[in-house]
Structures are given as C-alpha cells and as structure tokens.
Chains A and B, each alone.
Chain A
Amino acid sequence: MSDWGIFAAMLRRDLRIELRTREALLAMGFYALLVMVIFSFAFSADAALTARAGGGLLWVAFLFAALVALDRAFLRETAEGALVGLQTSPAPRAALLAGKFASSFVLILGLEAILLPLFAVLFNAPAHADWGGIALTTVLGTWALAANGTYFSAMSVHVRQRGLLLPLLLLPVSIPAILAMVQATQIYLGGEGVANYWLQLLAGYDVIFTALGLMLAEMALEVE
C-alpha cells in the first residue's frame, strides 16, 4: 500500500468508528457546550464582554473540546492490541500519524462548526462580525492544535497519567498559536478589518509543526 493509501485507510477507519459510536463527538460536544454555558454565567456575558474578550472565551471552549478529542485519539488504539499492531506494521510512521491527525482535525472542526453558531447566540456576537474570517482562523487554529495534539497524544499513550500529561505538553508549545487564534478571532469578531499577520503566523506555525511532527513521527510511535 502506498503512503497515501495508509494515510487514507487510517482516516477512513477512524471516521467510521466515530460515525458508528459517536462517543467522542457527543462527549466533547456536550463538554464544550457546558464550558460555554459556565463561561456565560461566570463572566455575566453580554455584548460588551464579547466585543472585548469573545475570542478568548471561544478558544478556551474549543481548546477543552480539542483536548478531549485528542486524548481519545490514541486511547482507542490501546484496545485489543491495536497500537502494537500499528507499531509493528511496516507502514511509515509519518503516514500513520498523518492519518490520525486528519481524523482528529475533521472531528474537531465538525464540532466547532456546530459550536460556533451556539457561541454567536449565547454571547450575543456583534452583527458586523466577519464570520468568514473567523471560520478561516478556526481552520488554521484547529490544524495547529490537532497537529501537535496528535503527536503528543501518541507520545503520552504509554504514560501513567496520560490524561494529565496531554494538556501539560500541548498547551506550552501552543502558546504562540493560541495567541494568534485568539487575537485574529477578536479582530474578526469586532469587524475591525483583516488579521493578516496573525493568520500568517498561524499558517507558518501549522507548516513548521506539521513538518516537525512528521519528521519525528518515529519517536512518537516507537515500540517501548
């Protein structure tokens, strides 16, 4: 099988499991919704708050949802020795990791597509907000989280405190990406024109860390 075939097989398999069980989508969707509802109480959300800090509120909710999804990404593989099967297969590690990344990316993005309108309603997003820009930021930002998150999820699968370790690894490395996605979203929410340089930073971050993850894929999936 070609590398692309392996990549596509991984992606198809993960999405099929998800469509049949819907466990990650339901759990993480409900979790993110809860976070948004709690935020709206905790910060007494109104239009003024959204105009000032909406980008941050939105992305913290997305971040929580992504962490749940990414934590599950490799947990599923521990069932019935699937992981050992992957690790001992002759498939290139980069293709396996890329397939895993793609399925997480699609999953999180699908969830965000549902959450974004909910956010707009719950937080009274300004009418002049640029939703095209926000959608673009969401795609680039989710790519960043999913790329590094998949890598660290693979890395932490053997670790005792796996659920704790993933955010500890993912969040520090994601600081520039989080800064960029929050700032860009904030600019688009206020309809203050284009957030070009934040999007460029995000795109650059995506390219660099996707490449790094693929180059070091061997390390993340190595047999102990």
Chain B
Amino acid sequence: MSTPIPARTAWIPLAGAGTLALLLVALWWALIGAPTEATMGTVQRIFYYHAPAALAAWVAFGLNAIASMAYLAKRSMRADALAVAGAEVGLAFLTINLITGPIWARPVWGVWWVWDPRLTLTLAMWVMYGSYLILRQLTPEGGLQPRLAAALAIFFAADIPIDYMAIRWWRGQHPSPVLFGGADSGLAPRMLVAFLLSMAAFLALMGFLVWLRYRQELTRGAITRLKQQRALAEV
C-alpha cells in the first residue's frame, strides 16, 4: 500500500534539457526549415503543432486507460498515479489541438468550427477527460477516489470507438490523413522532416510531463499518508 516518495534523480534535468532541445529544433523546422505551402500559405505551419498535439493526447489517454485497468487488477497506487498523469497531460495537449485547429480553419475553410467527425470526437473526448478530472476533484482523496476514477476511465475507453462510429455516420469535412492516406497524400520531403521532428518533440514532451506528474502524484500521496500517520500518533 505505501508507495515511497520517488528518489531525486539526475535524469529529470537531463530529460528536460533533451526535450527542450528537440522542441527548439522542431520549432526551427516548422517555422523556417519547411517550405511555405502553396495554396494555404504560412498558416499551414500550424499543422506542425496541431497534429502532433493530437497524437500526444491520444497516447496520454491510452496510458490513462491502461493504467486504470492495471489499477482495477492490482489496486496499486502507482497505476492510479499514472492514470491521473495521463488524463491531465492528455487534456492539456488536446486543448492545444482544439485551439490551433480553429486558427487554421478560419482562413482555410472560412469558418472557425464545423461539426465534422474528427472535430466532434475531439471535443467529445475533451469533455470526457474534463469530467474525469472533475470527478477526481470532487471525490475525497483515498480509497474511493482511485476506484471511481478507474471505473470511469474504463467506461470512456469503451465509449470512444462507439463515439467515433456514431459521429462518422453523422457528418464529414476534416482533411484526410496527410500521411499514408492514399495516392494524393504525402508531404514534400522538407515538410516531412519538420512534421516527424514535431511528432517526436511532442511525444517527448508528453512523456516528460507524464513522468513528472506521476512522480508528483506519488509524492503527494506519500506526504498525505505521513500527515495522517502523524495526526494519529499525536492522538
């Protein structure tokens, strides 16, 4: 039950510096290295942040789902800490994705928002993980909270594929995947470099933040338990 406070490690500044360097290189490629897109112009460069943010969010939510199932199976506080970290960091990246999308859509599509399958699903997921975090905030810390949160996370994991199907039947407008999307898709080589670098940088940043948040959650839990023990000892 009692998970120790994670030990101080030199890997944190190292990983942080590496992530920062990768982000700067990706930024240079996104703004300067990649050529300006012929029809959309400069605004297309937002794509180097827009799509990688979505990918990072999906991976983080995936971590949340796996960690929640692990919690149900093993009732380990480590799994619960990973679940919180995944949901919070994922929501932050999804927010970036949802903000950059309309900035691009307004000049290119002429509207800020359309109820297209992918946009609708993204918004639905944002609402879901928002409610997950609110649930965690409203439930008292301790025994009940991780259990309820894990159950909700598993409901979400089952819900997302059905959501995707329902929404696809409902509407359609998002540009088709640019990579592996068929004969017409594909990027200019220098665009591809910028895109892949951004993907790597965002995934690294996501992993780094999840790791930090995971450690912080374990530390927080350990401190709470120490306080409880001391309060009991004083009585």
**Which residues in A have some Cβ–Cβ distance to B below 8 Å?**
148, 151, 155, 158-161, 164-165, 168-169, 171-173, 175-176, 179-180, 183, 197-198, 201, 204-205, 208-209, 212, 216, 219-220, 222, 224
- Interface contact A201-B151, CB-CB below 8 Å: no
- Interface contact B163-A176, CB-CB below 8 Å: yes
- Interface contact A160-B167, CB-CB below 8 Å: no
- Least CB distance from B36 to A in Å reads 38
Closest A residue to B148 by beta carbon equals A155
CA distance A168 to B132 in the complex (A): 9
Q: Is B38 an interface residue (CB 8 A)?
A: no
Q: Is B223 an interface residue (CB 8 A)?
A: no
CA distance A197 to B163 in the complex (A): 14
18 A-B residue pairs with Cβ-Cβ distance under 8 Å, sorted by A, are: A155-B148, A155-B152, A159-B138, A161-B138, A165-B134, A168-B134, A168-B135, A171-B127, A172-B130, A173-B156, A176-B163, A176-B165, A176-B167, A179-B167, A183-B169, A201-B169, A220-B148, A224-B143
CA distance A168 to B128 in the complex (A): 9
CA distance A158 to B143 in the complex (A): 12
Ranked nearest first, the 9 interchain pairs of A and B with the lowest CB-CB distance are A176-B166, A172-B128, A219-B151, A176-B162, A168-B131, A179-B166, A176-B163, A172-B127, A175-B124
- Interface contact B150-A219, CB-CB below 8 Å: yes
CA distance A212 to B131 in the complex (A): 19
- Interface contact A219-B147, CB-CB below 8 Å: yes
CA distance A135 to B106 in the complex (A): 42
Chain B residues with CB under 8 Å of A222's CB are 144, 147
Closest B residue to A216 by beta carbon equals B151
Chain B residues with CB under 8 Å of A176's CB are 159, 162-163, 165-167
Q: Is B154 an interface residue (CB 8 A)?
A: yes
Chain A residues with CB under 8 Å of B170's CB are 179, 183
- Least CB distance from A221 to B in Å reads 11
